[in-house]
Amino acid sequence: MNFDVNTIREDFPILKEKIYNKPLIYFDNAATTQKPKAVIDKIVEVYTKYNSNIHRGVHYLSNKATTLTEEARQIVQNFINAGSEKEVIFTRGATEGINLIANSFAEKYINKGDEIIVSELEHHSNLVPWQLVAKKYGAKVIKWPFNDKGELSIEVLKSLINDKTKIITVNHVSNSLGTINPIEDIIKIAHSKSIPVMIDGAQAIQHIAVDVQALDCDFYVFSGHKIYGPTGIGVIYGKEKWLEQMPPYQGGGEMIDTVSFEETTFNELPFKFEAGTPNYVDTIALGEAIKYVESIGIDNIAAYEHELLEYAQKKLETIPQIEFIGTATNKTSVISFNIKGIHSFDAGTILDKMGIAVRTGTHCTEPVMQHFNINGTIRASFAFYNTKEEINELYNGLIKVIELFG
């Protein structure tokens, strides 16, 4: 495989940092990824050379910043294979994207008594917005439960769909367990009943090649910061046929066509959904992050991360005190586990002192923790800049944690 992790590590300045005088071992990539120098430099470059509010500017800087922003939109469009740039909307992140879709879709399509199917595996960001709109319109959120491996069953989904189902929403990959969900099958089943599907891709876009046209999904959302880009920028892909019909989410800025005191007409897609001054600097830097990922190749990334997952899994399996939470057959490079008799927070605190960053707690998926009847997990999530040597250090760290707590 054409993959030299040591060369790649040189691209990420933070990986040279010392934590408590120990080399940083960053295994919290599902929460946010580190940024390559190309992305950091791009942010500095835009503020240094091109900063100006975009759209409708007559002067050079505004035109330049607008062009770079729209180029970034095309980079995203090509990366996910959207049919048109009209179907690529920039948001602040996955959460804002889901809130936008939930609110705007519900305003147009959800009525009293309707049902919204939400999987039990969801991040709060893909549950709470649907609870809010369900309450507002008198609709019901229907739980699609997962099995004890952390997998969703198509048969169960089929049993939940009925004439009242208006939309199905599910993540591509679970953030707390790493399960890769069978979204192709989900979308096929839903479409056979003319039900649209929203995919929360926050944990997939950085690990798996996504082709929204091949998937035929109706909506797909993700955050820039999980794919080596900046915080504060995210993407909605939406089929034009839905977006055209859906009302604007917020008002003001470039989302208008004409405004009078009596009436406002709205801009065309995608601008109809981009109210206010857009986060053009981070949009441009997200484009740079995607170019960087493409230069390595998402399939190379997936293969190497899978190697890391299998290595870590085998290594941690040799520790008898470890209980794995979420053992799906198809997983991204996320391992969630507990150590018998030791609180995840205590383990995480000790690992931190060794320079090892893992995430502990509920991972914004309290219903997932409730399913397993636990109060949290230790989650190690790997990116393509991590190494097997670092996983050995995690193993050693966990042994020390167990020794310490007796």
Applying the rule CB under 6 A, the residues between 129 and 188 that interact with ligand PMP are 171, 175
Site string for ligand PMP, 207-246 (x = CB under 6 A): ----------------x-----------------------
Question: Which residue, 125 or 344, is less far from ligand PMP as judged by CB?
Answer: 125
Q: How many CA atoms lie within 13 A of 348 on its CB side?
A: 20
Set 19, 364, 369, 374: catalytic member: 364
Which of 34, 126, 169, 381 is in the footprint of ligand PMP by CB under 6 A? 126
282 alpha-carbon distance from chain centroid = 16
Question: In terms of CB distance, is 69 or 126 closer to ligand PMP?
Answer: 126
Indicate the residue among 202 and 342 with the shorter CB distance to ligand PMP.
202
The residues, any chain, with a CB within 8 Å of residue 379's CB and separated by 6 or more, are 28, 30, 176, 334, 335, 336, 358, 359, 360, 363
Integer Cα distance of 284 and 282 in angstroms: 5
DSSP 223: E
In 3-state terms, what secondary structure has residue 399? helix
- CB of 256 vs ligand PMP, minimal distance in Å: 26
Angle between helices 298-317 and 388-405 (to 10 degrees): 30
* Binding residue (CB under 6 A) for ligand PMP from 200, 218, 254, 393: 200
Total residues at the site for ligand PMP (CB under 6 A)?
13
Query: Of 203, 279, 332, 344, which one interacts with ligand PMP (CB under 6 A)?
Result: 203
364 in active site: yes
Q: Which of 399, 385, 389, 387 is nearest to 37 (CA)?
A: 385
Q: What's CA 59's distance to the chain center, in Å?
A: 36
Shortest CB 44 distance to ligand PMP, Å: 23
Rounded to the nearest whole angstrom, what is the least distance from the CB of residue 45 to ligand PMP in the complex?
A: 24
Of 101, 116, 384, 109, the C-alpha closest to 235 is: 101
Residues between 59 and 98 that touch ligand PMP (CB under 6 A): 93-95
Residues 6+ apart with CB under 8 A from 318: none
User: Please, is 104 exposed, middle or buried when counting C-beta atoms within 10 Å of its C-beta (0-12, 13-18, 19+)?
Assistant: buried
> Does residue number 360 form part of the binding site for ligand PMP (CB under 6 A)?
no
Looking at 8-16, 122-130, 239-247, 392-400, which segment touches ligand PMP (CB under 6 A)? Answer: 122-130
Q: Which of residues 362-381 bind ligand PMP (CB under 6 A)?
A: 364
Segment near ligand PMP (CB under 6 A); pick from 118-126, 160-168, 181-189, 297-305: 118-126
d(CA 319, CA 316): 6
Just list the catalytic residues: 364
| Residues lying near ligand PMP in the complex (CB under 6 A) | 93-95, 123, 125-126, 171, 175, 200, 202-203, 223, 364
